[in-house]
Amino acid sequence: MAMQKPNARATQEFVPIEEVRDGVIVLRDGSLRALLMASSINLALKSEDEQSAVLAQFQNFLNSLDFSVQISIQSRELDIRPYVALLEKRLGEQQGELMKIQVREYIEFIKSFTEGADIMSKSFFVVIPYSPAVLGKGGGGITGLFGKGKKDAQAKNASFEESRSQLEQRVSVVEQGLARCGVKVVQLGTEEAIELFYKIFNIGELERPIAVRNQQ
Q: What is the pLDDT of residues 144-170, one digit of tens each?
A: 434 455 556 666 777 888 889 999 999
Closest CA to 81 of 216, 210, 168: 210
For 79-93, 136-150, 185-199, 201-215, which range has the lowest pLDDT when averaged over its residues?
Answer: 136-150
Look at residue 4 and tell me whether its pLDDT is greater than 60: no
Which pLDDT score, from 0 to 100, does residue 128 have?
A: 94
User: What's the rounded Cα separation, in Å, for the pair 102 and 108?
Assistant: 10
Which pLDDT score, from 0 to 100, does residue 150 have?
A: 56
Closest CA to 177 of 87, 56, 73: 56
- The mean of the pLDDT values for the chain is 80
User: What's the rounded Cα separation, in Å, for the pair 81 and 85?
Assistant: 6
For range 126-134, the mean pLDDT: 84
- pLDDT one-digit tens code per residue, 25-40: 999 888 999 999 999 8
Closest CA to 65 of 178, 156, 199: 178
pTM of the model: 0.67
Name the band, by pLDDT with cuts 50, 70 and 90, for residue 47: very high
